[in-house]
Structure 1
């Protein structure tokens, strides 16, 4: 098969499109012919060999999201058969034409659903759901701030907050991305490259601040988050695209009696049953149009370019690889 192989950690140029051995379906696994694979920001960290995201050994095939038909079934597998289209957000190995996947986290894709649209329904949709329904459950009338609102998770977070009848203030880094955030349903959009977002938030809210801030940017936004948080509000950190926040002074929280939490989707799906419930719900919401998904496709052979674009903040929505 063809795959994108990482022989050693480093920049996007380390991602090499080449021949690799075909995987086989072991016990409790199915073999999937990949029709679409997803790229997440954490993949760039894996590629660089950063901390817990680093591969266990090299050469490695990155990518933890895949959609496609089952072409072989391993020993002991029940509930899945050859020909069924499935989706998985699980172990690495998805930047490839074939991948062997454990059945524990497999989701059946609705008949007729475009595999490319199924990819954003995996980790990105579950993350948006976990943040908006778990880390801080948006209540009707709540004012919330969503950073990086033109990104894949950001757009879905905006939509979910609106479904929960919140008032959404979105931040973006360009006017082009502002249009994307508005299309997702944001009530107010701030270009933080040209404006002081904390001052703008306080102006929009009449000095009251916001009930929750969903922040996947991290280092460059966190201190200003504290300046526009409302009474007993919470800063929900679920990523660090600009780097970790590091050592910080939390004294400003005393102004409003606020909170900070660092979390991820996995903290709100701690059992297989809950993971599958959320995954199936997100697949249904995307399939029925309750959630609108935005994605850009790249040939599998251009995975390195996709990584460059993602790290260069040139993208909106989900990045999907097509073998």
Structure 2
């Protein structure tokens, strides 16, 4: 028997149940893993609440990223062996002690990157990778606005964008989070709770505004995010921690400067294994080189996943949070 956190009915953090489950055996092309650390993400709360449908119905094991050790490999998996350190991101299924994973979704964790770092990096770090290198290819001299700068994705993205050579502006919701983001890549950090971020961006850029806005907040930052863009700028909406963006007339993009808008998702960008491997290599190389400092600011036991969800949704967390089986 093994332990897993499962959802039997949609609702608040209280629906997360710490259950005994049967451990599976790996089939062809699969690998059995013992988890060492599991990442916590807002995506997990969307599946828990029912905002996003459960892929295979209920009960559902949430969790989109983890790192661990190979216990057993199935037929046809010849590039992994028991004891290898591996990590992955898959939309659900990570809140457990052991699980079977398709080998093609795994990446090896290199020397210089810990299991905890890898668990905190796979979904959040690969999200930063595709946002900065593929959705909008940030270049030296670009001006970037990143909402939720002190969150897991935001702290990675701020350091990465600064490394590229961009001017990086962030927003955060407390003095502590403003200070944290300022330590990790951001040239300017705006406390959106006591400052109009649109006016602040206009002042910081002397009216030139931004080439791109990355927004995982949603309702609370829209349409203000559009007002931070220069003509032909791009609005990248990749989450909705404050609630979904309400429907809007596309003519608004024309009125605000012939803007572009997109709603990407990580799992499209890493659907091909070659893209998964390339993104993970780019990410791990920067972590191993010390360019990206992975801040794991909260750790919870797996059995305390409900407390972790409560704190995440109350915006009491900063940086990355992991669950320890």
Cα RMSD, aligned residues only: 1.6
**More off after superposition, 168-177 vs 262-271:** 262-271
SS at match of 1:122: helix
- Deviations for 1:180-235, whole angstroms, at most 9, x for unmatched residues? 11011211111111011001111111111111111111111121112221122111
Q: Which residue of 1 aligns with 2:6?
A: 5
The Cα of 1:158 is off from its aligned counterpart by 0.9
Q: Which residue of 1 aligns with 2:145?
A: 145
SS at match of 2:203: helix
Q: C-alpha separation between the residues in 2 aligned to 1:266 and 1:55?
A: 14
Establish whether residue 84 from structure 1 lines up as the match of residue 84 from structure 2. yes
The Cα of 1:256 is off from its aligned counterpart by 2.4
Structure 1 residues 15, 270: CA separation in 2 closer, same or farther (over 3 Å shift)?
closer
Q: Which residue of 1 aligns with 2:127?
A: 127
Q: CA contact under 8 A between 1:35 and 1:322: conserved in structure 2?
A: yes
Q: Which residue of 2 aligns with 1:315?
A: 317
SS at match of 2:220: coil
The Cα of 1:109 is off from its aligned counterpart by 1.0
Q: C-alpha separation between the residues in 2 aligned to 1:91 and 1:103?
A: 15
Q: Which residue of 2 aligns with 1:274?
A: 275
Q: Which residue of 2 aligns with 1:217?
A: 217
Q: C-alpha separation between the residues in 1 aligned to 2:253 and 2:31?
A: 51
Q: Which residue of 2 aligns with 1:298?
A: 300
Q: C-alpha separation between the residues in 2 aligned to 1:8 and 1:291?
A: 38
Unaligned runs of 5+ in 1: none
Q: C-alpha separation between the residues in 2 aligned to 1:134 and 1:29?
A: 29
**More off after superposition, 68-77 vs 148-157:** 68-77
Q: TM-score, normalised by structure 2?
A: 0.94
The Cα of 1:91 is off from its aligned counterpart by 5.6
Q: Which residue of 1 aligns with 2:98?
A: 98
Q: C-alpha separation between the residues in 2 aligned to 1:91 and 1:212?
A: 26
Q: TM-score, normalised by structure 1?
A: 0.95
Q: C-alpha separation between the residues in 2 aligned to 1:151 and 1:188?
A: 16
Alignment of 1:15-30 (within 5 A): 15-30=16-31
Give the count of matched residue pairs. 322
Structure 1 residues 174, 82: CA separation in 2 closer, same or farther (over 3 Å shift)?
same
Q: C-alpha separation between the residues in 1 aligned to 2:253 and 2:43?
A: 30
**More off after superposition, 264-273 vs 90-99:** 264-273
SS at match of 1:35: strand
Q: C-alpha separation between the residues in 2 aligned to 1:197 and 1:116?
A: 34
Q: CA contact under 8 A between 2:37 and 2:324: conserved in structure 1?
A: yes
Q: CA contact under 8 A between 1:227 and 1:252: conserved in structure 2?
A: no
The Cα of 1:78 is off from its aligned counterpart by 1.5
Structure 1 runs of 4+ off > 4 angstroms? Answer: none
Structure 1 residues 74, 91: CA separation in 2 closer, same or farther (over 3 Å shift)?
farther
Q: CA contact under 8 A between 1:226 and 1:253: conserved in structure 2?
A: no
Establish whether residue 45 from structure 1 lines up as the match of residue 19 from structure 2. no
SS at match of 2:219: coil
The Cα of 1:264 is off from its aligned counterpart by 2.0
Q: Which residue of 2 aligns with 1:68?
A: 68
Q: CA contact under 8 A between 1:122 and 1:283: conserved in structure 2?
A: no
Q: CA contact under 8 A between 1:121 and 1:279: conserved in structure 2?
A: no
Structure 1 residues 43, 148: CA separation in 2 closer, same or farther (over 3 Å shift)?
same
Q: C-alpha separation between the residues in 2 aligned to 1:95 and 1:167?
A: 37
The Cα of 1:85 is off from its aligned counterpart by 0.9
- Deviations for 1:4-37, whole angstroms, at most 9, x for unmatched residues? 1222211111111232212221221111111011
Q: C-alpha separation between the residues in 2 aligned to 1:179 and 1:85?
A: 34
